[in-house]
């Protein structure tokens, strides 16, 4: 029996080694193919730049010509105009690229000049024909203008009008138009009506909502999108409008929506670095973003001070500073983490999500820690009675402790007690008054 078990284990190791070798080989082949594709593109790009610079437009091969019509970032608007004048068959490629790669072209410093070129497009570029001048259509206001002109009785009907005009559902511009349309329906019909339509129209949901970040992640509705379409910036913009509308309706972000947002491509706004998607949300709807972040911080405070340790007085104290707290990180001992996962298995989605985001000490068993980040300082609270809270300058904490903390490589709570602290909060009788004075000294205020 022992011999058989040993042979089985040896065979399993050989199978695993073979799989590993095949994975490495497949990855190497993929890298090689990617390298060759990149090299081939660079060769085409170099040929395009050389021929366009010398105005040898007739010498461009069909592939080179199509590539040239997409090179807004490398060619000047003047050079592109000469190319289109001499190779008029490239107008559809140029115009479609402007609207397909909307987020890229809108970021170009020459965006206005390129938009002006569209006024010279021939009639065969049919999606440019309509009441809105092509130059205006390609301006930042373009999605809003076309959304107003295409507004139907539902988001789906509005989308059909866009598609009938020739705008592809795969284009970034189309995604931004749908965001503008959905924003109109949020304002006039409300959150529930829009969410009901998205639940019934999965293709609209995948265009407007960020996809899950991993295979086992939660999503907003039953069923999961196989691929994302449209534009990441557009999806983040819709999230901003949805959060803003919930604030206007005086409603919080419910458990399911919060969990799906945190499991999406946007990620967790409390974990640095902040994703590009959350940056868009914060810029478009700063107050709604702040409310959502505040809601998440409240849940983290509850998890640590009510579940990881029974200290409602400390939770109440820090809740007074919630508008000044930028983010929080909870670090649990292994036994505490296992116990909380068992006890909180049936809790709200937000509490479970907070528990999933905690860091763990690798060796420390009993003591847990909670880091509260303010603009200029970080306060670290510890679960055991008798442990003072440590106060660090934010810049020093970010440099000395943050990398190990975010990599989840802290061994014990002593790793969060270093000589670089600037102060301590002692939890003696009436500690709150002294803590308020100390925090005020460092520019941290309640309210």
Computed on alpha carbons and rounded to an integer, the radius of gyration of the chain in Å comes to 28
Q: 95 lies in a domain?
A: no
Tokens of 95: 């115009």
- Residue identified by tokens 């040896």 is 10
Tokens of 443: 């520019």
The answer to whether residues 320 and 389 belong to one domain is: yes
3-state DSSP assignment of residue 52:
helix
- Residue identified by tokens 């890229």 is 104
The answer to whether residues 277 and 312 belong to one domain is: no
Q: 344 lies in a domain?
A: yes
User: Residue 26: is its pLDDT beyond 60?
Assistant: no
The answer to whether residues 236 and 162 belong to one domain is: yes
Q: 53 lies in a domain?
A: no
Nearest CA among 114, 118, 95 for reference residue 106? 114
Rounded-to-integer distance, Cα 76 and Cα 55, Å: 13
The answer to whether residues 277 and 239 belong to one domain is: yes
The answer to whether residues 386 and 315 belong to one domain is: yes
Which of the two residues, 383 and 389, has the higher pLDDT score?
389
Q: Say how many C-beta atoms besides its own lie within 10 A of residue 399's C-beta.
A: 11
The answer to whether residues 148 and 280 belong to one domain is: yes
Could you tell me which residues come within 8 angstroms of residue 58 by beta carbon, excluding any fewer than 6 positions away?
86
- Given 249, 284, 319, the domain boundary residue is 284
Q: What is the mean pLDDT of residues 63-88?
A: 96
Rounded-to-integer distance, Cα 150 and Cα 196, Å: 21
Is residue 22 very low, low, confident or very high in pLDDT (cuts 50, 70, 90)?
very low
The answer to whether residues 324 and 223 belong to one domain is: no
Which of the two residues, 121 and 364, has the higher pLDDT score?
121
pLDDT in tens, 267-308: 989 887 899 999 999 999 999 999 999 998 988 898 888 888
Q: What is the pLDDT of residue 119?
A: 95
State which residues form the domain around 204: 141-284
Could you tell me which residues come within 8 angstroms of residue 414 by beta carbon, excluding any fewer than 6 positions away?
none
Q: 279 lies in a domain?
A: yes
Tokens of 272: 């640095």
What is the tally of structural domains in the chain?
Answer: 2
Rounded-to-integer distance, Cα 244 and Cα 291, Å: 10
Q: 238 lies in a domain?
A: yes
Q: What is the pLDDT of residue 4?
A: 47
Q: How far is CA 433 from the centre of its chain?
A: 39
- CB–CB of 204/156 below 8 Å? yes
The answer to whether residues 166 and 148 belong to one domain is: yes
Q: What is the pLDDT of residue 98?
A: 97
Rounded-to-integer distance, Cα 306 and Cα 294, Å: 17
Helix (H) or strand (E) holding 398: helix 394-400
Q: 233 lies in a domain?
A: yes
Tokens of 199: 């639940």
Q: 177 lies in a domain?
A: yes
- Given 266, 284, 302, the domain boundary residue is 284
Q: What are the E-state strand segments in 226-368?
A: 327-332, 359-360
The answer to whether residues 191 and 164 belong to one domain is: yes
Rounded-to-integer distance, Cα 268 and Cα 49, Å: 42
The answer to whether residues 384 and 274 belong to one domain is: no
User: Residue 64: is its pLDDT beyond 90?
Assistant: yes
Could you tell me which residues come within 8 angstroms of residue 292 by beta carbon, excluding any fewer than 6 positions away?
243, 253, 258, 261, 269
The answer to whether residues 311 and 431 belong to one domain is: yes
Q: 96 lies in a domain?
A: no
- CB–CB of 414/365 below 8 Å? no
The answer to whether residues 253 and 271 belong to one domain is: yes
- CB–CB of 377/392 below 8 Å? yes
Q: For residues 167, 168, 171 and 173, what is the CA-based torsion angle, rounded to 10 degrees?
A: 20
Is residue 21 very low, low, confident or very high in pLDDT (cuts 50, 70, 90)?
low
Q: What is the pLDDT of residue 1?
A: 47
- Given 224, 258, 284, the domain boundary residue is 284
Is residue 345 very low, low, confident or very high in pLDDT (cuts 50, 70, 90)?
confident
Beta partners for 390?
A: 380, 424
Burial of 179 (0-12, 13-18, 19+ CB in 10 A): buried
- CB–CB of 137/118 below 8 Å? yes
């Amino acid at each position: 029996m022992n011999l058989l078990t040993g042979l089985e284990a040896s065979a399993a190791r050989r199978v695993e080694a073979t799989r590993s070798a095949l994975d490495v080989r497949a990855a190497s082949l993929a890298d090689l193919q990617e390298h060759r594709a990149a090299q081939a593109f660079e060769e085409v790009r170099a040929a395009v730049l050389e021929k366009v610079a010398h105005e040898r437009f007739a010498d461009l091969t069909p592939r080179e010509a199509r590539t040239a019509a997409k090179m807004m970032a490398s060619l000047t608007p003047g050079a592109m105009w000469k190319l289109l004048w001499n190779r008029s068959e490239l107008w559809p490629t140029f115009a479609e690229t402007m609207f397909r790669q909307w987020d890229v072209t809108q970021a170009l410093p020459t965006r206005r000049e390129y938009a002006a070129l569209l006024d010279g497009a021939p009639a065969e570029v049919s999606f440019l024909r309509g009441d809105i001048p092509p130059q205006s259509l390609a301006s930042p206001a373009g999605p809003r203008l076309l959304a107003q002109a295409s507004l139907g009785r539902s988001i789906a009907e509005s989308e059909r009008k866009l598609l009938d005009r020739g705008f592809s559902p795969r284009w970034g511009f189309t995604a931004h138009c749908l965001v503008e349309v959905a924003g109109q329906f949020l304002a006039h019909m409300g959150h529930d009506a829009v969410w009901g339509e998205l639940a019934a129209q999965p293709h609209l949901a995948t265009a407007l909502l960020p996809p899950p970040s991993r295979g086992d992640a939660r999503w907003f509705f039953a069923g999961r999108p196989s691929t994302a379409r449209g534009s990441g910036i557009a999806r983040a913009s819709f999230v901003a409008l949805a959060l803003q509308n919930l604030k206007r309706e005086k409603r919080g972000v419910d458990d399911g929506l919060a969990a799906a947002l945190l499991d999406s491509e946007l990620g967790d706004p409390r974990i640095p670095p902040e994703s590009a998607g959350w940056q868009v949300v914060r810029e478009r709807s700063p107050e709604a973003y702040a409310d959502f972040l505040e809601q998440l911080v409240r849940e983290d405070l509850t998890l640590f001070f009510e579940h990881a340790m029974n200290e409602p007085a400390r939770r109440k104290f820090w809740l007074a500073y919630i508008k000044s707290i930028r983010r929080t990180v909870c670090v649990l001992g292994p036994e505490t983490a296992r116990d909380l996962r068992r006890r909180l298995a049936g809790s709200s989605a937000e509490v479970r999500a907070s528990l999933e985001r905690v860091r763990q000490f690798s060796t420390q068993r009993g003591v847990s820690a909670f880091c509260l980040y303010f603009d200029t300082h970080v306060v670290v609270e510890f679960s055991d009675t008798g442990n003072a809270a440590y106060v660090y300058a934010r810049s020093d904490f970010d440099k000395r402790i943050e990398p190990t903390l975010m990599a989840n490589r802290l061994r014990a709570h002593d790793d969060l007690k270093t000589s670089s602290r600037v102060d301590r909060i002692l939890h003696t009788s009436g500690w709150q008054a002294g803590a308020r004075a100390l925090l005020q000294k460092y520019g941290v205020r309640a309210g």
